[in-house]
Structure 1
Amino acid sequence: MNFIPDNISKHDNVFDVLKERGFIEQTTNEEEIRDLLGKEKIKFYIGFDPTADCLHVGHFMQVIIMMYMQKFGHTPIVLIGGGTGMVGDPSGRTDMRQMMTPETINANCNAFKKLFDKFLDFDDEWVYTGGDGKTVGKATANKEPEPGKAICVNNASWLLNLNYVEFIRDIGRHFSVNSMLRAECFKQRLEQGLSFLEFNYMLMQSYDFMVMARDIDCKMQFGGNDQWSNILHGVDLTRREVNKQVYGMTFSLLTTSEGKKMGKTQKGALWLDANKTSPFEFYQYWRNVEDADVHKCLRMLTFLPMEEVDRLGDLKDAEINKAKEVLAFEVTKLVHGEEEAIKAQEGARAAFGGGGTMENIPTTTMDSTSFDGEGMGVVALIQQLKLVPSRSEGFRTIEQGGLVINDEKVTDSKMMITKDLFKDGKLLIKKGKKTFHMVQI
């Protein structure tokens, strides 16, 4: 099942592979971690709070890292935060996360697991048996996982049964408020306001690490750079409470050369679910990344050998578009499969006049009566198609010359779309340089 080819690297230690691909940012002890990953096959975990019913491209970096670790024989523990999701991680936030109902959190947890099944090979017979609700109790699993296969846990199984006073007495005593307030995840929130609810999050995540080290011999936690403080406190808590040496490692977030997070589109996040972000839109996002970001994206989001990554990343001027096509195809193939990647590529080539078929451009079928008589206003149409978030944005797009219908630039914001504008029942709309949409009646 693993998508990573055997020739991915000349290195046989996954630490060196991750370093070569530019993932690793911070480690609790680089030499010891490299030695550990070279000599042993370990269990490690990455946590995912179910803040939505789908993974987005920000999560995908973490998934790729788990795929590398599994390729080299290590056991990924996918921790789904059914417990921590009740509180919400303040890391990287300027405001408090919206509270979700337990039913929504549970539904999101189930949706997450189905998506992870696409990328990791799980031992589905392995089950964490849960604890007795005691903070310093112990739980086990029904068996050891099959070597190299991933396992999945939900921290609701140990967090939701805890007695709060017992938790604060046993676990809270190890945490210095002064130290916590120096953590970046809290420091940036103090001016806007940090709720006591969110202040508990670090204790809960640290406790997760301790529980898994104690119960199933988890030796490492990975996360994005914004998780560094939480990971450090988890390492410290595990040493203090269960006398075990564990390690932490963080990875660079997927950002542009200007330091902005990648994966944001005009419709919101770039989702891994085809029902939320179509394969065509997904492909187009990567096809249109800035030239300066091509090498980084090829290195981190594809499984091309580094020699090929360097060759493509070094292309200049018009030639860099060939590298962008490869990037878009490889990432779309990984997320949506080769068939969808081919369709997306053909659709993009057709839209940009380079051959291919228009069949794969995002299409909305509408009732032809909508365009009877005087028809429908162009601004109302593009808002209905969600090409713009509001009418005012629609007017602004037209004023700035950013809307084209059937290869004709729209100059009149009061233009009416009628049946006679459709060619063979189809109307091609282009917004800006990157967004295409077909209307069919």
Structure 2
Amino acid sequence: MVENYEAALGFIHGRTKFKKSDHLNRMKKFLALLGDPQDNVSAIHVAGTNGKGSTVAFTRDLLQSQGYTVGTFTSPFLVRFNERISVDGKAISDGDLIDLVNQVQPVVADLDAHYPEGGPTEFEIITAMMFLYFKNHVDVAVIEVGIGGLLDSTNVFTPAVSVITTVGFDHMKLLGNTLAEIASQKAGIIKPHVPVVVGKLPDEAMAVVNQTASAHQSPIYRLGKEIQAPIKSEAGWQEKFDFHFRDFNFKGLKISLLGDYQVDNASCALAAFLLYQQQHHQPVVAANVARSLDETVWAGRFEPLHKEPLIVIDGAHNEPAITELTRLLKQRFSDNEIFILFGVLADKQHDKMLSTLRTISNLHIILTTFKGPGTRQVTDPKALAAQYADDDRIEVIDNWQLAIGAVLQRMSAEDLFLITGSLYFISDVRAFFLEP
């Protein structure tokens, strides 16, 4: 029995992170011993290299706008662990978290003692707790895949709709070194006869997803084909677009998350929501759809923390995300001087990320470090800077708080200060600015 919040977190975080995969058999056994709660959760399942979090947020708000109580399962958390299991955007309470740990603990002990490969991992335990909680507390859940899809701990239920937002290079040690290999992992969430919504994928990845959907006789709806979302304007802190899908036509939809890729995420969310409503023979109120998309926010994704001077954080923690971020900066901030504070984990493609950022002309980059999660290493900023010794726009300030102070002294009111890289870094920076 755990008696307090610290002990509950200690139990969760004390578990091993990874174990040799046994094709989800351990996860299924774990859930069976808990009464298979996943079979009593109506849900939308979201996979993808990037865009999962924003897509989950848009989908949650769309469902909420129609009166549903909506659970979301996301990772990692930005401020507090409890955010990972949320209802209507509010994190699970400490008391409910303690109750869930006490529910799963005896089953974990049993598996530790008797299951051939040992008991469940940290993420398997959090996933099981989520299913247990959502079974009794929500009408519908939006469940984000942890890593990949095929062998992810969440991939143990039949969703109402599957969503694959993007496929790019990340977590290659686990998912494979080609886009086709990575796509086959993401496509692992496609279930027989369950519709799948797909964002803009490279041809190599799309071929795999098409093939998987066809093999499962799953209707597939692709952004740019069956789903059309032309962007109308890029003025002010918003994106504006039209949306056409099946019998639905929406004109002049607006979102407050910047970037063409956020229009893609919102469009995937809207298509998934419309499919869900049709399946459940529920009406769609156009005014609620428009309002909900306009009001969606997702912390840490090109999020302004201060207006004058403009200070923005963005958890662009891999190379595909940095590519999209760079495109956004060139589109919307070409007339501004841009100061970028960059800190990233060592297991990411940091050299490629930095070389992409360097294509922005009006740029000053400060490389820094931060405390990584657990035993994960952070990229050495001095070693990274040494690769670009001939670029005088790049400098190193090890202490990120001092780096923020240095940039604020140098920049003018018209400049942009962007702090980006690891989501763990962004979490620390957000707390630094927003906590009293």
Task: Quickly name the TM-score band, shorter chain normalised.
Answer: under 0.3
TM-score, normalised relative to structure 1: 0.27
Give 1 or 2 for the bigger CA radius of gyration: 1
Q: Which has the higher strand share?
A: 2
TM-score, normalised relative to structure 2: 0.27
